[in-house]
Homo-oligomer: A and B are copies of this chain.
Amino acid sequence: MATHPAQPQTPAPGDSYVQSFARGLQVIRSFSANAPHQTLSEVAAGSGLTRAGARRILLTLQTLGYVVTDGKLFTLTPRILDLGFAYLSSMPIWNRAEPVMEALVQQVQESCSAAVLDATDIVYVLRVPTKKIMHINLGVGSRLPAYCTSLGRLLLADLDDDEVRARLEASNIEALTKHTLTDIDALMAKVAQARKQQWCLVNQELEEGLISVAAPVVDRQGRMVAALNISGQANRTSAKAMQETMLPALREAADRVSRML
Protein backbone atom coordinates (compact mmCIF):
# COMPACT_ATOMS: atom_id res chain seq x y z
CA MET A 1 0.00 0.00 0.00
CA ALA A 2 2.89 2.38 0.72
CA THR A 3 3.96 4.44 -2.25
CA HIS A 4 7.53 4.47 -3.39
CA PRO A 5 9.42 7.42 -2.02
CA ALA A 6 10.10 10.13 -4.56
CA GLN A 7 13.44 9.74 -6.27
CA PRO A 8 15.94 12.28 -5.01
CA GLN A 9 16.66 15.13 -7.37
CA THR A 10 19.97 14.86 -9.16
CA PRO A 11 21.17 18.32 -10.05
CA ALA A 12 24.38 18.87 -11.97
CA PRO A 13 27.55 18.59 -9.88
CA GLY A 14 28.92 21.87 -8.65
CA ASP A 15 31.01 23.42 -5.95
CA SER A 16 28.38 22.81 -3.32
CA TYR A 17 27.05 19.42 -4.45
CA VAL A 18 28.95 16.24 -3.65
CA GLN A 19 27.82 13.89 -6.36
CA SER A 20 29.61 10.82 -5.04
CA PHE A 21 27.74 11.23 -1.76
CA ALA A 22 24.39 11.59 -3.51
CA ARG A 23 25.18 8.52 -5.60
CA GLY A 24 26.05 6.56 -2.50
CA LEU A 25 22.68 7.36 -0.95
CA GLN A 26 21.03 6.19 -4.18
CA VAL A 27 22.88 2.88 -3.88
CA ILE A 28 21.46 2.40 -0.37
CA ARG A 29 17.98 3.19 -1.66
CA SER A 30 18.31 0.74 -4.54
CA PHE A 31 17.79 -2.10 -2.01
CA SER A 32 14.16 -2.94 -1.31
CA ALA A 33 11.68 -5.72 -0.67
CA ASN A 34 11.92 -6.60 -4.35
CA ALA A 35 15.71 -6.33 -4.37
CA PRO A 36 17.04 -7.41 -0.95
CA HIS A 37 20.18 -9.04 -2.42
CA GLN A 38 21.73 -7.49 -5.50
CA THR A 39 24.65 -8.16 -7.81
CA LEU A 40 27.01 -5.34 -8.73
CA SER A 41 25.24 -5.01 -12.08
CA GLU A 42 21.83 -4.79 -10.43
CA VAL A 43 23.02 -2.09 -8.03
CA ALA A 44 24.53 -0.16 -10.94
CA ALA A 45 21.27 -0.39 -12.90
CA GLY A 46 19.13 0.44 -9.86
CA SER A 47 21.10 3.53 -8.93
CA GLY A 48 22.03 4.83 -12.38
CA LEU A 49 25.75 4.35 -11.85
CA THR A 50 28.46 2.74 -13.93
CA ARG A 51 29.64 -0.66 -12.69
CA ALA A 52 32.92 0.91 -11.61
CA GLY A 53 31.11 3.65 -9.71
CA ALA A 54 28.71 1.23 -8.06
CA ARG A 55 31.63 -1.01 -7.10
CA ARG A 56 33.46 1.82 -5.32
CA ILE A 57 30.32 2.80 -3.40
CA LEU A 58 29.57 -0.82 -2.43
CA LEU A 59 33.13 -1.39 -1.24
CA THR A 60 32.94 1.79 0.81
CA LEU A 61 29.66 0.65 2.34
CA GLN A 62 31.24 -2.75 3.03
CA THR A 63 34.26 -1.16 4.72
CA LEU A 64 31.93 0.86 6.93
CA GLY A 65 29.85 -2.22 7.81
CA TYR A 66 26.67 -1.07 6.03
CA VAL A 67 26.79 -3.84 3.41
CA VAL A 68 27.92 -7.46 3.38
CA THR A 69 28.64 -9.61 0.36
CA ASP A 70 29.16 -13.29 -0.37
CA GLY A 71 31.38 -12.27 -3.26
CA LYS A 72 28.51 -12.05 -5.71
CA LEU A 73 25.42 -10.70 -3.95
CA PHE A 74 25.38 -7.58 -1.80
CA THR A 75 22.97 -7.16 1.14
CA LEU A 76 22.38 -4.23 3.50
CA THR A 77 23.23 -4.80 7.19
CA PRO A 78 21.17 -3.56 10.14
CA ARG A 79 23.79 -0.85 10.66
CA ILE A 80 21.87 1.06 7.97
CA LEU A 81 19.21 1.60 10.63
CA ASP A 82 21.66 3.88 12.46
CA LEU A 83 21.07 6.46 9.74
CA GLY A 84 17.32 6.50 10.28
CA PHE A 85 17.91 6.25 14.00
CA ALA A 86 19.87 9.51 13.81
CA TYR A 87 16.62 11.12 12.74
CA LEU A 88 14.34 9.34 15.21
CA SER A 89 16.64 9.93 18.17
CA SER A 90 16.88 13.58 17.17
CA MET A 91 13.11 13.71 17.84
CA PRO A 92 13.05 12.40 21.43
CA ILE A 93 9.47 13.60 21.75
CA TRP A 94 8.29 10.24 20.36
CA ASN A 95 9.64 8.33 23.31
CA ARG A 96 7.47 10.41 25.58
CA ALA A 97 4.52 10.44 23.21
CA GLU A 98 4.34 6.66 23.02
CA PRO A 99 2.69 6.10 26.43
CA VAL A 100 0.10 8.76 25.60
CA MET A 101 -0.67 7.02 22.32
CA GLU A 102 -0.80 3.61 24.02
CA ALA A 103 -3.31 4.90 26.54
CA LEU A 104 -5.40 6.24 23.67
CA VAL A 105 -5.31 2.87 21.88
CA GLN A 106 -6.42 1.19 25.10
CA GLN A 107 -9.29 3.63 25.38
CA VAL A 108 -10.59 3.60 21.81
CA GLN A 109 -9.42 0.10 20.80
CA GLU A 110 -8.20 1.30 17.43
CA SER A 111 -4.67 1.87 16.10
CA CYS A 112 -2.91 5.21 16.61
CA SER A 113 -0.06 6.56 14.49
CA ALA A 114 2.09 9.68 14.39
CA ALA A 115 3.36 11.09 11.11
CA VAL A 116 5.16 14.06 9.65
CA LEU A 117 5.00 15.61 6.19
CA ASP A 118 7.75 15.14 3.60
CA ALA A 119 7.03 16.88 0.28
CA THR A 120 3.83 15.20 -0.97
CA ASP A 121 3.93 12.23 1.43
CA ILE A 122 3.32 11.53 5.07
CA VAL A 123 6.02 9.52 6.83
CA TYR A 124 5.13 7.45 9.88
CA VAL A 125 7.34 8.15 12.89
CA LEU A 126 5.47 6.07 15.48
CA ARG A 127 2.72 3.49 15.32
CA VAL A 128 0.77 1.84 18.12
CA PRO A 129 -1.37 -0.98 16.72
CA THR A 130 -4.36 -2.46 18.48
CA LYS A 131 -4.35 -6.14 19.22
CA LYS A 132 -7.34 -6.64 16.96
CA ILE A 133 -6.95 -9.01 14.08
CA MET A 134 -7.31 -6.45 11.30
CA HIS A 135 -4.70 -3.84 11.51
CA ILE A 136 -2.78 -2.08 8.84
CA ASN A 137 0.84 -2.96 8.76
CA LEU A 138 2.66 0.32 8.36
CA GLY A 139 5.97 0.58 10.13
CA VAL A 140 8.07 3.55 11.06
CA GLY A 141 9.51 5.14 7.95
CA SER A 142 6.77 3.95 5.63
CA ARG A 143 5.00 6.49 3.45
CA LEU A 144 1.56 7.27 2.15
CA PRO A 145 0.41 10.09 -0.09
CA ALA A 146 -0.74 13.17 1.81
CA TYR A 147 -3.69 14.09 -0.44
CA CYS A 148 -5.87 11.09 0.47
CA THR A 149 -5.01 10.61 4.18
CA SER A 150 -6.32 12.38 7.27
CA LEU A 151 -2.76 12.91 8.54
CA GLY A 152 -1.68 14.29 5.20
CA ARG A 153 -4.55 16.75 4.73
CA LEU A 154 -4.11 18.02 8.26
CA LEU A 155 -0.34 18.42 7.88
CA LEU A 156 -0.87 20.23 4.56
CA ALA A 157 -3.20 22.61 6.40
CA ASP A 158 -0.22 24.07 8.24
CA LEU A 159 1.18 25.37 4.93
CA ASP A 160 -0.12 28.44 3.10
CA ASP A 161 -2.54 27.91 0.25
CA ASP A 162 0.00 28.45 -2.54
CA GLU A 163 2.23 25.82 -1.05
CA VAL A 164 -0.67 23.41 -0.53
CA ARG A 165 -1.65 23.78 -4.16
CA ALA A 166 1.95 23.25 -5.30
CA ARG A 167 2.19 20.06 -3.23
CA LEU A 168 -1.12 18.76 -4.56
CA GLU A 169 -0.07 19.54 -8.12
CA ALA A 170 3.17 17.64 -7.52
CA SER A 171 1.23 14.65 -6.15
CA ASN A 172 0.44 11.56 -8.15
CA ILE A 173 -3.32 11.81 -7.57
CA GLU A 174 -5.30 8.65 -8.30
CA ALA A 175 -8.80 7.41 -7.48
CA LEU A 176 -7.62 4.72 -5.07
CA THR A 177 -11.24 3.95 -4.14
CA LYS A 178 -14.56 5.16 -5.47
CA HIS A 179 -14.55 7.75 -2.65
CA THR A 180 -11.14 9.32 -3.38
CA LEU A 181 -11.23 13.04 -4.11
CA THR A 182 -9.03 13.73 -7.14
CA ASP A 183 -9.96 17.31 -7.99
CA ILE A 184 -7.40 19.79 -6.69
CA ASP A 185 -9.96 22.48 -5.82
CA ALA A 186 -12.03 19.95 -3.89
CA LEU A 187 -8.87 18.84 -2.06
CA MET A 188 -7.96 22.48 -1.33
CA ALA A 189 -11.41 22.91 0.26
CA LYS A 190 -10.85 19.84 2.46
CA VAL A 191 -7.47 21.18 3.55
CA ALA A 192 -9.05 24.57 4.34
CA GLN A 193 -11.70 22.80 6.41
CA ALA A 194 -9.01 20.85 8.28
CA ARG A 195 -7.17 24.13 8.95
CA LYS A 196 -10.33 25.74 10.32
CA GLN A 197 -11.49 22.90 12.55
CA GLN A 198 -7.95 21.70 13.45
CA TRP A 199 -8.76 18.07 12.78
CA CYS A 200 -9.44 16.01 9.68
CA LEU A 201 -11.47 12.90 8.92
CA VAL A 202 -10.98 10.88 5.74
CA ASN A 203 -13.57 8.23 4.93
CA GLN A 204 -12.40 5.37 2.70
CA GLU A 205 -10.40 7.50 0.26
CA LEU A 206 -7.15 5.57 0.72
CA GLU A 207 -8.63 2.11 0.95
CA GLU A 208 -12.16 0.71 0.97
CA GLY A 209 -13.34 0.15 4.54
CA LEU A 210 -10.68 2.34 6.14
CA ILE A 211 -11.65 5.50 8.03
CA SER A 212 -9.17 7.72 9.81
CA VAL A 213 -9.24 10.90 11.82
CA ALA A 214 -6.24 13.11 12.65
CA ALA A 215 -5.39 15.81 15.18
CA PRO A 216 -2.37 18.14 15.23
CA VAL A 217 0.75 18.16 17.43
CA VAL A 218 1.73 21.80 17.74
CA ASP A 219 4.94 23.27 19.19
CA ARG A 220 5.25 26.33 21.42
CA GLN A 221 5.65 28.54 18.34
CA GLY A 222 2.29 27.29 17.05
CA ARG A 223 3.84 25.23 14.22
CA MET A 224 2.31 21.86 13.46
CA VAL A 225 5.27 19.52 13.83
CA ALA A 226 3.38 16.25 13.42
CA ALA A 227 -0.10 14.80 13.56
CA LEU A 228 -1.65 11.83 15.32
CA ASN A 229 -4.42 9.72 13.90
CA ILE A 230 -6.77 6.91 14.78
CA SER A 231 -7.71 4.55 12.01
CA GLY A 232 -10.48 2.03 12.08
CA GLN A 233 -12.64 -0.18 9.96
CA ALA A 234 -15.88 1.18 8.52
CA ASN A 235 -17.65 -2.10 9.28
CA ARG A 236 -16.86 -1.71 12.98
CA THR A 237 -17.11 2.04 13.44
CA SER A 238 -18.93 4.56 11.26
CA ALA A 239 -17.36 7.89 10.39
CA LYS A 240 -19.98 9.56 12.57
CA ALA A 241 -19.20 7.34 15.55
CA MET A 242 -15.49 7.91 15.04
CA GLN A 243 -15.99 11.66 15.07
CA GLU A 244 -18.29 11.64 18.08
CA THR A 245 -16.63 9.06 20.29
CA MET A 246 -12.97 8.87 19.30
CA LEU A 247 -12.07 12.34 18.07
CA PRO A 248 -12.34 14.01 21.51
CA ALA A 249 -9.94 11.44 23.02
CA LEU A 250 -7.59 11.82 20.04
CA ARG A 251 -7.53 15.61 20.35
CA GLU A 252 -6.83 15.34 24.05
CA ALA A 253 -3.92 12.94 23.38
CA ALA A 254 -2.53 15.23 20.66
CA ASP A 255 -2.77 18.18 23.05
CA ARG A 256 -0.92 16.21 25.73
CA VAL A 257 1.86 15.42 23.27
CA SER A 258 1.94 19.09 22.16
CA ARG A 259 2.44 20.20 25.75
CA MET A 260 5.54 17.96 25.95
CA LEU A 261 7.24 19.95 23.17
Contact = CB atoms under 8 A, between A and B. Distances in A.
A57 B90 contact: no
A82 B116 CA distance: 13
A71 interface: no
Contacts of A24: 18, 21, 24-25
A116 B78 contact: yes
Interface residues of A, number: 67
A117 B38 CA distance: 21
Contacts of A25: 24, 64, 66, 83
Contacts of A16: 55-56, 59-60
A51 interface: no
A139 B88 CA distance: 9
A222 interface: no
Interface string A54-78: 0111011001111000000001111
B91 A36 contact: yes
A48 interface: no
A72 to B, nearest CB: 16
Contacts of A140: 81, 139-140
Given A59-B17, A137-B98, A31 B78 contact: no
A196 to B, nearest CB: 26
Contact of A29 (B60, B82, B106, B118): B82
Interface in A15-38: 15-18, 20-25, 28-33, 35-36
Interface of A: 5, 8-9, 11, 15-18, 20-25, 28-33, 35-36, 55-57, 59-60, 63-66, 75-92, 94-95, 98, 102, 105-106, 116, 118-119, 123, 125, 129, 131, 137, 139-142
11 contacts: A9-B64, A16-B55, A17-B56, A18-B56, A22-B63, A33-B90, A36-B90, A76-B86, A79-B123, A80-B84, A81-B84
